[in-house]
Structure 1
């Protein structure tokens, strides 16, 4: 009985902590079942795709799209996995939409676009094209939740945060990448953006976990981040930039925790 009470109290603490990070509802329940706070966590195995589905034109939807772990890949106009900025996405999510249980294969084109608040649950990118997902909502109350899933082989960005609001990346894994999250450094319309990285596995090689614009009031919080295969700590956890709205290349102005823009401490990251 004593042991059971300790576990119950711990679970409540986890729920409270995740709620503070902006992770609520079913995602909280799932998170508490998968990994108690502070527990050692092996990198989850990638799922086996259950069949394939070619995507010749962007799939635009509201509500929920359950891919049933089929491998979706671009064909025709979407049959590219390069860095062309004009590419269209495989999926376009309207405000409040949920994309779940999808394996995105190659070609991946420009991945997923969220036009407002959205949830990406158990989505796996086998070979990231231009970007894995781009968040484009214009409301400060927009919330973009990435829960579970993973991404491999992103030559540049995994998640591109162009819009307003909060992005929460929870229980995700990434390997062989440039940047996990980048707040747009030179969009015509700029916003203060909130980014939360929680309970994720980062496997080298990679350049940085998150990049934010200090001059626009961005914040990035990192919690329980596990970095694998980077003994020399070359992957930068948080990079600060001076962003602009003129299309020019943003200027990097610093790295590491500063208590204002990059919010984490050494104890929030572990290395093996």
Structure 2
């Protein structure tokens, strides 16, 4: 894939000219009527306005429910925006590997309108294809969600919702298949938004798409992929807030392994093969 030039989006000359004519006409009209002229009507590129738009407010919980044992979901589960949090054996709130999740979704299940409070244990596990719709993590535990299907045709979808306070990963992609994060999903105060497992005992090719997402610093990286297993990460319409120094890495490449060792980071940034995006796909504001 050929990278597009690093330039502001939507720079169509005719559109800018039309805006200047509209501004001039409005100013003349205001002067003729004696109204004060607003001087902050400077014409901005469309992408700048998009980047400056703040993420939507988080929802308020409609009740709370402690969870002492993992809730298993098949079919569809609507939490009606209730807050679920770990209690008893699920109430540790630490970062230890191997914790049980609050929710475990069977292949093909959908979880929607759920708020995970603190402690959130190991969040949500998807045993196969799954959809997470309007799910919010107030304080990510070990991971917000882990995707564990073993079929190359497995499809995981995260639509809307958001996650914050993730000291390491938000989404852990251990299984096979494709993961899409979209629909205005929000993430803030995090380590990595999504990481393809770097040292699982069984490895797969994984496909990641991050599109229409709001990211608020601090954070370290959006996507991490293993090039030696053929992983890809495609980024589109990503809006990053509060990161004027551009410290958040959009995509990081690794050499993964299946023996439990720490994977080796080999580079970052768009390369057209594993990290698929251009500068115009990411806006800052």
Q: What TM-score does the superposition give when structure 2 sets the normalisation length?
A: 0.82
- Runs of 5+ consecutive residues of structure 2 not aligned to the other structure: 1-45
Q: 2-side partners of 1:86 and 1:220: how far apart?
A: 26
2:252 aligns to what? 239
- Secondary structure class of the residue paired with 1:190: coil
Aligned with residue 139 of structure 1, among 151, 176, 187: 151
Q: 2-side partners of 1:126 and 1:243: how far apart?
A: 30
Measure how far apart 1:42 and its partner are. 3.1
For residues 97-136 of structure 1, what are the structure 2 equivalents within 5 Å? 97-136=109-148
1:17 aligns to what? none
RMSD: 1.1
Q: 1-side partners of 2:150 and 2:98: how far apart?
A: 21
From the CA coordinates, give the structure whose radius of gyration is larger. 2
Matched, 1:208 2:221: yes
1:47 aligns to what? 59
Q: What TM-score does the superposition give when structure 1 sets the normalisation length?
A: 0.85
2:34 aligns to what? none
1:153 aligns to what? 165
* Structure with bigger RCO (C-alpha 8 Å, 6+ apart): 2
Measure how far apart 1:61 and its partner are. 1.6
2:88 aligns to what? 76
Aligned with residue 187 of structure 2, among 155, 174, 188: 174
Measure how far apart 1:86 and its partner are. 2.0
Aligned with residue 70 of structure 2, among 58, 67, 70: 58
Matched, 1:189 2:234: no
* Runs of 4+, deviation exceeding 3 Å: none
Q: 2-side partners of 1:197 and 1:176: how far apart?
A: 18
- Secondary structure class of the residue paired with 2:178: strand
Q: 2-side partners of 1:232 and 1:42: how far apart?
A: 18
- Secondary structure class of the residue paired with 1:215: helix
- Secondary structure class of the residue paired with 2:136: strand
Between the two proteins, the alignment pairs up a number of residues equal to: 236
2:239 aligns to what? 226
- Secondary structure class of the residue paired with 2:59: coil
Q: 2-side partners of 1:101 and 1:162: how far apart?
A: 24
Q: 1-side partners of 2:192 and 2:206: how far apart?
A: 16
- Secondary structure class of the residue paired with 2:235: strand
